[in-house]
Structure 1
């Protein structure tokens, strides 16, 4: 009989790469998360505990403090740029800076470009172009710069891979074979994670309705997604099933947890921030529909240390969620 820790170690021997521990200090990690998401955190708290459901600007009576764009410029644009400058100066010789930059690009960068989209047609076109560039850079990082991701994909399917000490990569040799056991393990793990997440999601949704007497727990993000799917079905399907799982797992699991040292603190922040990123000035209760699956994805990544387990699980979860919310209505 193996203990739980021994079982986890045996799983990691099959699927995880030998990686060095992050050299990002815990206090810097907390500063990064709080600094980047301070605007969203304040907005979420106001919508939860303020009976009037006010935005930050509504708390003041003097211009420009009453203007939401002012708080965006201060708490997102200026603070976001200062944060990335701080980490560039402090960790310029560390490879972890790449994880910080990709995380920053996906959270702060996309938030800035989304805001500029509302300023006119030219700004909308430029913002869309910048977002495509951000997407391209994230994909390049996933498959080229951070070589561990491709090696992790090989470990998902192959046995007897050869480790090359010079390139620090796993190589598929003539003796490497696709493992039916690993494929079976992938299918079983994906189904177990998704079914567990779906069951928990339904249970939490029922409890939220019963305890808080809410008639509609659907978030604004989900409503917009359903509305957009009516006219751009295949675009939304591709985004939900392929791009979203790939990029969100890269950012909120691979990058965030790597920066945080793969510990419990990083896991907790990964769950919370994943939910927070999907809200639009909504209360903490609306976090739960996103935190439930995120908990399963984080747990899976923590055990296997292989990002592709969570990508496949996230993709299947989104397929079922997409079908239930749009396809079968």
Structure 2
């Protein structure tokens, strides 16, 4: 799986994958597992990096969501609204680029823009701009996989993958809050 996505990242092409329903489902599950694994890995890297260098990036937007909104609203925003809006904004336009050279750059730009927009998740960056690539590494990684499935299977699949990814990552926090278990 990683090899296929890595190959696509190196030489992206605007070519849909002809696949059976079973093959699409298998691809989806493998991409989801890989994305979640990498997001957790990058999250641990960010935490370790912040601790090691005593960096403070302020509250994360997800923390603010949980503080200010109901569980239902957080679930709606993270698992429904954000995936739909972000996929429409960052990946829906990819298929209009028919020229291979234009498509390649559009794919790379969509990944970078997806990462850059998520820097707004951090309330404090001042003077620590050099850390931005590390802070948005989970989103850059996710952008690669979401762009891949967008092209290979279609926009619906990228929205679904994005939603499932967000659900898997927020579910433990939602359970803690639902059960009113203190996080600290």
The answer to whether the 8 Å contact 2:119/2:135 transfers is yes
Offset from partner CA, 1:50-101 (integer Å, 9 cap, x none) = xxxxxxxxxxxxxxxxxxxxxxxxxxxxxxxxxxxxxxxxxxxxxxxxxxxx
Query: Is 1:195 the counterpart of 2:44 in the alignment?
Result: no
Shift of residue 251, structure 1, vs aligned partner: 0.9
1:303 is aligned to: 152
1:12 equivalent among 13, 16, 28: 16
Distance 2:145 2:57 in 1: 20
Offset from partner CA, 1:198-230 (integer Å, 9 cap, x none) = 11122223334445525777863222222234x
Distance 1:258 1:228 in 2: 37
The answer to whether the 8 Å contact 2:114/2:143 transfers is yes
1:225 is aligned to: 65
Shift of residue 258, structure 1, vs aligned partner: 4.2
| TM-score scaled by length of structure 2 | 0.67
The answer to whether the 8 Å contact 1:204/1:288 transfers is yes
Offset from partner CA, 1:115-160 (integer Å, 9 cap, x none) = xxxxxxxxxxxxxxxxxxxxxxxxxxxxxxxxxxxxxxxxxxxxxx
CA shift in 2, pair 1:234/1:207, >3 Å: closer
Distance 1:323 1:276 in 2: 25
Three-state SS of the structure 2 residue aligned to 1:316 is helix
Distance 2:18 2:32 in 1: 22
Distance 2:44 2:26 in 1: 27
Query: Is 1:266 the counterpart of 2:115 in the alignment?
Result: no
Q: Which runs of no fewer than 5 residues in structure 1 stay unpaired?
A: 16-180
Three-state SS of the structure 2 residue aligned to 1:14 is coil
The answer to whether the 8 Å contact 2:114/2:139 transfers is yes
CA shift in 2, pair 1:276/1:238, >3 Å: same
Structure with the larger RCO, 1 or 2 (CA within 8 Å, 6+ apart): 2
Distance 2:76 2:57 in 1: 25
CA RMSD of aligned residues (A): 3.1
1:276 equivalent among 116, 122, 126: 116
1:244 is aligned to: 82
CA shift in 2, pair 1:237/1:266, >3 Å: same
Distance 1:208 1:236 in 2: 23
Q: Which runs of no fewer than 5 residues in structure 2 stay unpaired?
A: 177-182
Distance 1:218 1:288 in 2: 17
The answer to whether the 8 Å contact 1:220/1:279 transfers is no
Indicate the larger mover: 291-300 or 215-224. 215-224
